[in-house]
Amino acid sequence: MYQYLTSVLLLLCTCLTVHGKVRLHHMVGDNMILQQLSDARLWGWADPGKTVKVTVSWSDKKYQTVADEQGKWMVKVATPAASYTPLSITFDDGEQTTIKNVLSGEVWVGGGQSNMEMPMSGYHQCPTEGYNDEMVNARQYKGVHFCTLPMVRNIKPQDDVKCKWQVASPNTIGSFSAVGYYFAQNLNRALDIPIGIIIAVKGGSRVEAWLDYDNLKTYTDEPLDEEGMKKRYQYNWQWPLVWGNATFHPILNYTVKGILYYQGCSNVGDGHVHYAERLKLLIEQWRRDFGLGQLPFYITQVTPYYYFDSPEGDHRGRLIEQQMKASQSLPNVGIVCTQDLVYPWETKQIHPAQKKQVGDRLAYQVLNKQYGFKKLLCESPSYEKHTISNDTCYVTLRNMYKGFTVLQNCTLEGFEVAGEDRVFHPATAHPKGLNMVWMTCPQVKKPVAVRYCFRNWQNGNVFNSAYLPLSPFRTDDW
């Protein structure tokens, strides 16, 4: 009798081992948003050689695949047009697993560091402006779903990580990325379809944190082992490679529309001459790894702050210059300016409270360039060219639309000029026409260079007719 029971138990264990129930990637689950009108990828694990069948509620079409030697499988399913109609998907490898409340819509990724992560409820002593109002109104945005990946690191690329999709509600939005949530609200209202946001970030991370092993080895001198990382960097959030491996790599099979990127503070003053090159590498890397063509990529500029306790330094200006350079180096890349989005008391607040405007500006760019809202005024003004005549500098700006928001006889703040001694002094500047600024400076009789808000902390008041701020710039290369 004992031998019989033992044999039965062994048989049951063998059956359980050989015939394990299909396991889905954590992002393939209830409440997920599928990228509409695409061949959306669904994937997971099963016993090696096992056939996995997939059926969907919106179509009679059947899908199936076979798990490989490692038990991995993937199918691509044709998704319907965006709709608020709940969908379901059933996976069957002998045992069925069904996921529910799936919607078809638009899916965007939010990457970067803590200003992208910053939740609606804020951080300790870092409030997000407008949180209570948004909590009260959250039920209007049930079509907005979020999936936030945990911040984990690994020396090797990881395929999965524990996460789940959540529906916007008063009980959930507190943990949502504020920038991502405001971005999603705009798209949800403008397009009237479900919007999915995937957040994969790490606070304090440098751009090198997201580059893969091959890019880091080929184009940088970054340490690629943990001992080397510990020797070079005081904190692990500064480490290269490891955050991309475990916090971003797990989402690369997901079918998405585009990427929002809010990062740069941790690179301010640290190898900024390489930042544009490395950000360009990252854009190309993620486009390659998602395998979805020239994915739209939108960059958020770093905001004013007392970097290195120095308001007069130009570390931030140089990093923004690199961000602008990266945005111009590839097609389908945009950038938003945040020069005006700090309060006077936030000089040493690396997480400014005004996140709504950041999400709004990203959404305006995306709606204009990806969804056909061509009447949306989405571009900040930027430097185009300049001339110097005697003691007067003339700067021409692009993207002014219908002109300045200040009157022609008002003084523009934030401009500086320098002579051959390379010492900058505040200039007295005025608008001229729709897109030109002229300026003089009593201390500089023979100017050779102009800068605008190129310092770590500097106020400026130049806005175009869309109330978007002029991006910091310089005309010199000192």
SS3 assignment, position 26: coil
Distances in Å between the alpha carbon of 175 and those of 13, 75, 118, 153, 444? 41, 31, 9, 21, 51
pLDDT at 407 over 80: no
Q: pTM for the whole thing? A: 0.94
Percent of the chain with pLDDT over 90: 94
Of 1 and 313, the one with more pLDDT: 313
pLDDT at 79 over 50: yes
Q: Could you tell me if 265 and 302 are in contact, meaning their C-beta atoms sit under 8 angstroms apart?
A: yes
Pick from 157-161, 273-277, 447-451: least confident: 273-277
SS3 assignment, position 9: helix
pLDDT at 13 over 70: no
Give the pLDDT score at 11: 39
Q: Could you tell me if 29 and 98 are in contact, meaning their C-beta atoms sit under 8 angstroms apart?
A: no
pLDDT average, residue stretch 190-218: 98
Q: Report pLDDT digits (tens) over 344-394.
A: 999 999 999 999 999 999 999 999 999 999 999 999 999 999 999 999 999
Q: Which residue, among 336, 338, 326, 346, has the nearest Cα to 283 in the 3D structure?
A: 326
Percent of the chain with pLDDT over 70: 95
Residue 271: band (very low, low, confident or very high) from pLDDT cuts 50, 70, 90: low
Q: CA-CA distance, 162 to 44, in Å (whole number)?
A: 13
pLDDT at 159 over 80: yes
